[in-house]
Structures are given as structure tokens and as C-alpha cells.
Structure 1
Amino acid sequence: MWQVFGIFAILLILIFTGLPVYLALLLTSIVFMLGMDLPLNLIVIKMFGGVNSFSLMAIPFFIIAGNIMTKADITYKIIDLSDSIVGQFKGGLGHVNILASMFFGGIQGSGIADASAIGGMLIPAMEKQGYEKDYAVAITAGSSMLSPIIPPSIAMILYSYYTEIPVSSLFLGGVIPGVLIALLQMGVNRFMYARRKYEIPTHAFSMKKLAVSFSRSLGALMMPIIIIVGIVTGIVTATEAGVIAIAYGLIYGFLISKKLKLADLPEILLSSGHTTAIVMITIASAAALSNVLVRMRFQNEVLSFVVNTIGNPVSGTLFLMVVIFILGMFLDPTVLIAMLASTILAVGGAFDFNPIHYGVVMVILMQVGAITPPVGSFLFVSCGVANLPIEKAAKPLLPFIAMVLLIVLVSFFMPPLVTWLPSVLA
């Protein structure tokens, strides 16, 4: 077990030196493979095997589809629709930020893309209305958590790949917790609006405006419906659904919104390729380190400690949650899923938890790391958009993090919140 602690200690030290995560993963793998007298060509074999999957092709397809839809000017339409629904309440643009992230998640599935696209439009708008910059960044980073939870979710696709749990069930399992997180974050926004003594004018609700903005957004909102219905009914796999999403995005961009131009495609492909490369090299590097953990019997050690030493399903799971939360403060959710998915599945199985319930709860928890300092990727993007030091946004972000953790616990203790939709529709 001490060797495992050593792995994580070295990994975190390398990350804190400023190395990219994938390099830190690779160097840690090399150090321990040399120490275990293993051939280094095993790293190449495991890296290739870690990404050589038809299922993982869904990730670049959804990234391309999301970038096409973003270029087709869906961000403005989603924000306009969100404003028509919740803009009349006190804390208007804060509510709009959260609801827009929920809609955006149904199209992009990426928290980083959410923080960049939604934050790029709403952080300056919130500042202009009178919201303080630190609060605008906090609400943007906090609500970007919704994109990896609301289907189609890249995080759920990845967890499905490592555990072989049907991705349709994981998608549906994230819907109710995702909506509850959005509602609670809106509650926090309303509370903070009053506490900060904002007095920002809001517009009256207009059914006509709602109808117009809904009709304008309908084409964009159809994408997640087509994807989810196709996957849930078994007509297509997640990878095939990604191809359909690209085709629909092109039709929407060229023929419906008419905002997409042929000249935009090279930029879309280059941007998507860059994002995909980051995700895939991280997954490949995590696969190499995961092999080291397997050889050190990491899963068996965790299983033995949680199941045999702690023994109680609730206490054991809460211990595992604390470990994941702490690791998430330093490791990207992609790395956590790649390294811990099989262990989570084994622990949940040993305690006789429903694998869909247990998996969805843990995937949501892993995403919290993306909005917590010191290395939260969604938080970094939001701060970068606003040109704000990360420490300035940390304190106002805490209530939004607390709401996510609350839903994680509620979902754990109330399994139907996760399992009901999959049992009815999947």
C-alpha cells in the first residue's frame, strides 16, 4: 500500500512543478516500472491499448459536433432562451448562466467548452450589469459542472468504456441529479444576490419572447434529443450517435442557422483535433500508470480495506468519496475515471450497490475536482476568460461546490434519483 501512496505522491509533486498532466503520468509510470524491473516498451503497449477502442471514438465525434454547433451560433440562442425562462427573477443573469450551462451540456458534453463559450458571453455581460467579477467567474465555473453530467456526457462515455456499463443508462442516470444541481445553484445565486446587496433591474416575463426564443433554439435543442433517443432505443451506439450529431450539426449550421461557412471547417477540425489530442494523450498516459497500479494490486488493496477493514457499505463508500474528492483537487476528472473506474465498480459490486447508481454518483463527484483549486480545469478556463487570479474566485465558488456535494450525498442515499429514469427508459 505504501508503494501506491508513493505513486500518488510523486505524481502530485510532478504536477505541482508545472508539468502537463500526461507527462507527469508518464514519468511516474517510468519511475515505478524501472523500480519493478519491467520493460519500458510496456508503456507504449499500454498507451496504445488504452485508446485503441471503437467506443472512445465517440469522444472526438461529440467534440467536433459541439464545435460545429458553437460555430453555428447556438450559444447566443441558448442564452436568449434561458433569459426568457428565468431572466425575470432577481439574480437574473446568474440564473441564466446556470440554465444556459444545462442546455449547453446537452449539446457539447464538455465543461471546459461550457466555461469558455458561456463564460465568454456572460461574464462580461454580468460585469456590465453590476455583478462583481469574482462572483461572475464563480457562478460560471460552478455551473460548468452541469455539462459533464447532463447527457450526452463525455465523462459518462469514458466511465462506460472502463466498466462496460451501458452508456445509455449512465446518460439517463445523470439527468435528475444534474437538474437538481442546477436548481440548488439557482437557489445559491438568489441567496448571494441578496447577501451582496445587488439591485440589478430585471425584465418582465413575456410569453411571446419565450415562444420566439424557443422556436429559434429548437433546432439546436433537437441535437441532444436525437442523440439520447438513438442511444437509449438501441438504434445507434454512442460512437454512431456522434457521427449523427456531426451530420445534424452540419445541416443545422449550413441550412437552418446559416451561420456556418465552409471556411469555418478547417478551424473547427483543428480546434477539435487539439482538444481530442489532449483528452486522448491523457487517457493513454493514465492507462500506462493504471497498469502499474494493477501490478501493485491497487484495486485489491482498496477493496480489502474498504470492504473488509471498514466493512460498512455507507462508511466504506464515504471513505472512498473523501479519497476521490481529495485526489480530484489535484487530478483531472479524466485521469480519475481512467485510474479508478474499475476499482469503483469492484467496491460497489462488493457492497451490492446498483452499478448504475454507484457509477453515476462517483462520476459526478469526480467532476467536482474540475472546479476546485489548485488545478481545477473548468475554474482555470473561467478565470482566464475574465483575466482574474484563481484565488479571487475560490471563496465565492464554495457555495456552488457545496451544492454539488450535497446532491452527490442525496443521490447516494436516495438511489431512485439516479436509477428511476434508466429503469423506465433504458
Structure 2
Amino acid sequence: MRISLAMANRAQQTDDMTNVLIYLVLPFLGSILIGVPVVFAIGIGCFVFLAFSGTTIPMLVLVTEMASGLDSYALLALPAFVMTGELLNRCGLTDRLVNLANAAVGWIRGGLAHVTTVTGMLLATISGSALADAATLGPVVIPAMIRERFPPGFAAAITAAAACIGAIIPPSVPLVIIGSQLGMSIGGLFLAGVIPGLLTGIALMITSWLLCRFRGFGAPRPFEGVSALGRHSIRALPALTIPAIILGGILGGVFSPTEAGVIAVMYTTILGTLVYRNLSLRSFGEALMSTAQITGAAVIIVAISLVMGRILAFEQIPNKLVALMSGITTEPVLVFLIVVILLLVVGCVMDAVANMIILGPLLMPICTQLLEMQSFQYGVFLMYALLIGLLTPPLGLALFVVAPIAKVSAEQISLAVIPLIAAMLIVLTMISFFPALTMWLPTVAGYK
């Protein structure tokens, strides 16, 4: 009797997953393949499932899910951090950060590659968006690297990889979205991303040094001196106080992450008008318009992705995936490889925001139960794997941002980015199997 009941339950689970595959996943993937924008492809998949699968999900529940999902205080931080980055991009900050990084690490073999990485890390403390950092950093450092006889493909690849640090080191727009949708503390996630972000920078610099050493480009240059380093540090210091204000205020309990974003906007506006004196009224208006476009696009994707996430939750797909995975293997290394391959594939073809909303709740039971990940560790792991997807050829979105700047083909940049992806995969493995890398700082600060 028990055997028959178990077989019936397993058959029911298989039927439910088959329905989701036929009526939700296949229409969604088919729409993506014919070039339909991601947000509409998600909508098409949801519509087909609701219309033809025979599901009993009330439409009112889905509408309520969209409204309640967007009615999030934490999501208010999204436009604030985007606005901060947009304002600083119009204040000539990138040149100041490049000069500072050049004085600090430009004398090492592979100098400009290290300058690009360090500048990406500095931008990360202000902007928080990988693709925005790639678009900001690329026009400044890629032509300079090509003039220094770096291979154009490598110049584009290291710029894209360095820009991805922008979504790891706080303040991070993706971490705000992950925290708001998975019910995690934004401040805790910010702290969880600090050590992985620093490790990523170190890994990229070591990889760049090895490539330059064995391929014969990026010869070392004389050190500019402590005085030059101090001079460039002072010029960039006002902008570099922004992350100190954000993290210091959050950790000190002075304000929430959302309030920190608003304060950062106010501080940046004062910085651009009174200190740097190059933020005009027109530039401020352009920053507002760009912020509205970026935030509006993200919110639309969040809303429609919540519908798909609700459908998957209603059909109990996360628990069924855990059962399916347990039936295949419980070996942590194999589970890790399956999850990472999935995230890399979807990360290179789909918008990162949609991936976080849909796959975040879907994969959380697998990672927390089979890989024994903790909350902040899982949030950083998810975001990091999707970031690597932005670099994964041939469809990595970050590669398309920098390739036209370097005037390189997809083949050139795809070959050049492989060693950098390998370095980031090592860091991802460390994040997965060494919880202290992501949990130590939040624990010390009192986040759980």
C-alpha cells in the first residue's frame, strides 16, 4: 500500500513538472530564441501556462503577488543607488579613479590591466551595476590599453570582468533585489559581498599578471612616487567617502539601506555642484531620466518575474526539484556543478534581474539543503554565478557592451575572457564551500 502511494505521488510530481515544462518553460524559451524581449517572453510563458495547463491558480492571487512584491521598502533603495552612480558618472569621477589606480598599481607588470581591475573595484563602491560600470569604464581604459599594445580582445575582456565586481562590492543593486525578494537583510548582504569582491579583484590581478608575464605584454613601468599617489588620493577622496557613509551609517544603525541610498544621492549632488563643480542642471536632468529608465525596466521585469515565481511556487517546483536532485545525486560537488552550469547558461541569455527573481526561490532549497549553504552565502553565490554568466561567451551581455569599444570580434573577446572566467569560477567555488567568506562580516556586525 505504501509502495503504491509513493509511486502515485511520484507520478503526480512528474505530471506537474511535465506541465510546467510544456506549458511554461518551452513557450518561454521559444520566445527567447526568436528574439522576444525577456520581459515579454516571461509573460508569454505565464499566459500559455495559465490558459492551457489546467492549473487552479486564481488570477487574483497573481495580481496580488505582483502588487505586494513591488510594495517593498527595500526596493526603494534601487533608484537611489542607480541615481548615485549616474550622478558620479557625470562628475568626471572615472578619470580621477583611473589616475588613483594608476598611481597605486600601474607600475606592476600588466599595469593597465591592474589599473582597470582596481578602478572597477573603486567604481563598485559607488555604482553597484556591472553593465553600467562596463559602459563607464570601457571608453576610458580600453583605448589606453590598446595604445600600450595590449591585445584588444584582452583589453575588452578584463574591462568586462572588472566591471562585474560592481555588483559584488556594496552598494550593490543586484543584492538589493535579491534581499528584497528572498527576505534577507540588505545590510547583511552588503557585508557578505565585501570579501568575495576583494577576492575577485585579487584573482583577476593575478590572472592578468600571469597572462602578461607569459605572453609578453604589459611591461612594468616606474613607480610614480608616494607624492603622486597622495595627490591622486586627495582628488578622489570626496567620492570615495560615499561607501564609508553608506556602510558606516547602516552598520551604526543610523539609517536603513534605503535611507542610505537617499543620503548618497544628496551627498553626490552636493559633491558634483560644490566640490567638483561640473554637475550642471542639464546633467542632473539626464541622470534623472537615465535613472527612471533603468529603474522602470528593472521594476517591470521584477513584477512579471514574480508571476512566474508564484506559478512555480504554487506547483511546488522547488521541493520537487530537491526530490529530483536527491534521486540523481546528493554528492555536494556534483550538485554544485549542476547548479553552476545552469546559472551560467541562463545568465548569459537572460536578464540578471529576471534570473534572480525566478531562480532565486527555485534553487534556494537545493543549495540550502543539499549544499548546506546559509542565507547570505546563498544570496552572494546566486548573484556571483549570474555575474559570470554575463561574461560567458558567446552571449554574455557584458561582452557586448565592451566589444564595440575595443573593435573586436566575438571570437577574439570570447577567447580572451576564458582565463578570467576560470579565475572567477575558483572564487565562486570558495564562496560555495567556505561559508566564512560570506558569513563572517555579517555575523560580526550582528546580522543573522
Is the TM-score greater than 0.5?
yes
CA distance in 2, matches of 1:308, 1:422: 34
2:18 corresponding residue in structure 1: 2
Which residues of structure 2 form unaligned runs of 5+? Answer: 1-16
Kept after mapping to 2: 8 A contact 1:110/1:154: yes
CA distance in 2, matches of 1:243, 1:82: 28
Task: Quote the sequence identity (%).
Answer: 29
CA distance in 2, matches of 1:11, 1:203: 55
CA distance in 2, matches of 1:275, 1:184: 30
Of 69, 73, 78, the match for 1:59: 78
Question: Which entry has the higher C-alpha Rg, 1 or 2?
Answer: 2
2:402 aligned with 1:393? no
Kept after mapping to 2: 8 A contact 1:130/1:200: no
Of 246, 249, 262, the match for 2:268: 249
1:368 corresponding residue in structure 2: 388
2:51 corresponding residue in structure 1: 34
Change in CA separation of 1:285 and 1:95 when aligned onto 2, cut-off 3 Å: same
CA distance in 2, matches of 1:296, 1:88: 57
Q: Which has the higher contact order (CA 8 A, sep 6+)?
A: 1
**One-letter identity of the residue aligned with 1:385:** I
Kept after mapping to 2: 8 A contact 1:30/1:40: no
CA distance in 2, matches of 1:98, 1:340: 29
TM-fit CA distance, 1:236? 1.6
2:13 corresponding residue in structure 1: none
1:417 corresponding residue in structure 2: 437
CA distance in 2, matches of 1:135, 1:349: 37
2:41 corresponding residue in structure 1: 24
TM-fit CA distance, 1:235? 2.1
2:185 aligned with 1:169? no
Which residues of structure 1 form unaligned runs of 5+? Answer: none
CA distance in 2, matches of 1:199, 1:158: 38
TM-fit CA distance, 1:43? 5.8
**One-letter identity of the residue aligned with 2:377:** H
2:133 corresponding residue in structure 1: 114
TM-score (normalizing by structure 1): 0.94
CA distance in 2, matches of 1:41, 1:424: 43
| Pairs aligned (count) | 426
1:407 corresponding residue in structure 2: 427
Deviation per residue, 1:333-366 (Å, 9 max, x gap): 2111101222343334435432222322222112
**One-letter identity of the residue aligned with 1:364:** Y
**One-letter identity of the residue aligned with 1:8:** V
TM-fit CA distance, 1:13? 2.6
Change in CA separation of 1:39 and 1:425 when aligned onto 2, cut-off 3 Å: closer
TM-fit CA distance, 1:131? 1.5
Of 228, 232, 236, the match for 1:209: 228
Kept after mapping to 2: 8 A contact 1:332/1:376: no
CA distance in 2, matches of 1:28, 1:346: 23
Kept after mapping to 2: 8 A contact 1:81/1:213: yes
2:173 aligned with 1:154? yes
CA distance in 2, matches of 1:298, 1:77: 49
Structure 1 vs Structure 2 CA RMSD? 2.1
TM-fit CA distance, 1:370? 1.3
Kept after mapping to 2: 8 A contact 1:12/1:330: no
CA distance in 2, matches of 1:134, 1:409: 26
Is 27-36 or 193-202 further displaced after alignment? 193-202
* Aligned pairs (5 A) from 1:16-415: 16-37=33-54, 45-198=64-217, 200=219, 202-307=221-326, 310-351=329-370, 352-415=372-435
Change in CA separation of 1:192 and 1:59 when aligned onto 2, cut-off 3 Å: same
Is 34-43 or 15-24 further displaced after alignment? 34-43
**One-letter identity of the residue aligned with 1:31:** V
2:278 partner SS: coil
CA distance in 1, matches of 2:259, 2:349: 34
Deviation per residue, 1:68-111 (Å, 9 max, x gap): 11111111111111111110011111110111001101100000
Change in CA separation of 1:349 and 1:139 when aligned onto 2, cut-off 3 Å: closer
Deviation per residue, 1:98-148 (Å, 9 max, x gap): 110011011000001110011111111111221222111111111111000
Change in CA separation of 1:422 and 1:185 when aligned onto 2, cut-off 3 Å: same
CA distance in 2, matches of 1:231, 1:277: 26
CA distance in 1, matches of 2:73, 2:197: 27
TM-fit CA distance, 1:204? 1.9
**One-letter identity of the residue aligned with 2:116:** N
Kept after mapping to 1: 8 A contact 2:344/2:392: no
2:84 partner SS: helix
TM-fit CA distance, 1:200? 4.5
CA distance in 2, matches of 1:356, 1:87: 34
**One-letter identity of the residue aligned with 1:376:** G
Deviation per residue, 1:285-305 (Å, 9 max, x gap): 211222222233211211222
